[in-house]
Amino acid sequence: MNIVCTKIIGELATMYTGTQLKTTRHHHMETKPKRGGPGRGQGRPPVKPGEPTVTMCLRLTQAQRDKVERLGGAGWLRQKIDRAKEPE
């Protein structure tokens, strides 16, 4: 395959797949992603380092939800739970 055909095929592949094709000395085509995969340090930071968290779904009225947000949101609620005494 000549260089012109390789260049055209590479441009078409980029248009349709969003991936650039890299040609080697022997004109074999390899796909090369434009961006890397998932990296370290990505995402939301932990609430407490070393402690996994879970999600809890809670039903509130809109007025109750608004009040929780005014009082400090999830951080305020976690603090109240940590300070609350266990029932006997």
pLDDT tens-digit profile of 10-54? Answer: 676 666 665 555 555 555 555 666 666 667 777 777 788 888 888
Q: With respect to residue 10, please indicate whether it lies within any of the assigned structural domains.
A: yes
* Residue 13 counted as domain residue: yes
d(CA 51, CA 73): 20
Tell me, yes or no, if the pTM score tops 0.85. Answer: no
Please check whether residue 49 lies inside any domain of the structure: no
In a domain, 41, yes or no: no
Domain count, the chain: 1
* Burial state string for 42-77 with b = 16 or more CB within 10 A and e = fewer than 16: eeeeeeeeeeeeeeeeeeeeeeeeeebeeeeeeeee
Domain range for 16: 3-32
Q: Are 22 and 13 spatial neighbours (Cβ–Cβ below 8 Å)?
A: no
Q: 24 in a domain, yes or no?
A: yes
